[in-house]
Structure 1
Amino acid sequence: MFDAGVHHVSLNVADAAVATRFYVDGLGMTQRDDRPDFSFDGAWLQSGDQQIHLLEVSDFVPPPGQHFALGVADLNAARAHLEAHGVTVSESKALPGICVQSFFKDPTDNLIKLNQPL
């Protein structure tokens, strides 16, 4: 019944315009043009087969530990790209037999994991 996959994930952000630039310019996501005219600012983004919906909530504070993961083929290259864009990325950590991972935060402090499968 629920095996068609995740349609989208919504992220609360403090400033939709700043967050959209970060996700599009820094992470290479594509801004979709089919977002309806809601009563709040936001953006719909495309990342591979996954949609990310940004919702502006001015006083939002992300819960500690809550995150989503972006799959990458080359963690070192992804880390270097982010760092070149001024993003602080954690040191890589291996989970033996599973993946190598690093973490960083978006402009609202939402936690994002980079995940390179082993």
Structure 2
Amino acid sequence: MGVTRYLHTAILVSDVEKAESFYTHILELPKTERSLKFPGVWYQLGDYQIHLIEDQNWKATEVNQKWGRNPHLALAVSDLEKMKTRLKTKGYPFQESSSGRAALFTKDPDGNIIELSQQ
């Protein structure tokens, strides 16, 4: 009767088209079609889903200057150096993990923090 698996994470964004461009073209997450009665986008990563939900008044809050110590979504990438280059080229900020491991933290257009780890 307990929890059996993790299904999805909902992330608020102020402009779903701008956020969709980041999650689709920068992170290259695979979209899945799902009908919604409000502006939003679904992504499918194995059994896990990420759901972007538009709230035009949304702005993420950063409480710690080290981005990894704020609420964040963690994703595995196959080539962290290529991702770092892509983020630099497209003008997205990032911080490398202060732990020394192969990981970095970036922000989507609304300031939601995403951890990207070499796997």
TM-score (norm 1): 0.80
Trace 1:66-81 onto structure 2 (pairs within 5 A). 66-81=71-86
Aligned length: 111
Q: What per-residue deviation string (whole Å, max 9, x for no partner) do you get for residues 64-117 of structure 1? A: 21111111233222211222222222134335xxx4321110011101111235
Aligned to 2:4: 3
Matched residues, percent identical? Answer: 33
How far apart, in 2, do the equivalents of 1:74 and 1:61 lie?
29
**Contact 1:93–1:100, Cα closer than 8 Å, also in 2:** no
2:48 maps to which of 15, 30, 50: 50
The aligned counterpart of 2:65 is: none
Match of 2:103 among 101, 106, 116: 101
Counterpart in the other structure of 2:96: 91
Q: Which of 59, 62, 75 matches 1:61?
A: 59
CA-based RMSD: 1.9
Structure 1 stretches of 4+ moved >6 Å:
none
Distance 1:37 1:114, change over 3 A: closer
Check 1:28–1:48 CA distance in 2 against 1; reply closer, same or farther (3 A cut): farther
Superposition TM-score, scaled by structure 2 size = 0.80
User: 1:37–1:77: structure 2 CA closer, same or farther, 3 Å change rule?
Assistant: closer
Give 5+ residue unaligned stretches, structure 1: none
SS in structure 2 at match of 1:70? strand
Tell me how far apart the structure 2 counterparts of residues 23 and 54 of structure 1 sit (CA, whole Å).
9
Q: Which amino acid aligns with 2:12?
A: N
Is the Cα contact below 8 Å between 2:14 and 2:57 reproduced in 1?
A: yes
Give the secondary-structure state (helix, strand or coil) at the position aligned to 2:96: coil
Distance 1:48 1:80 in 2: 26
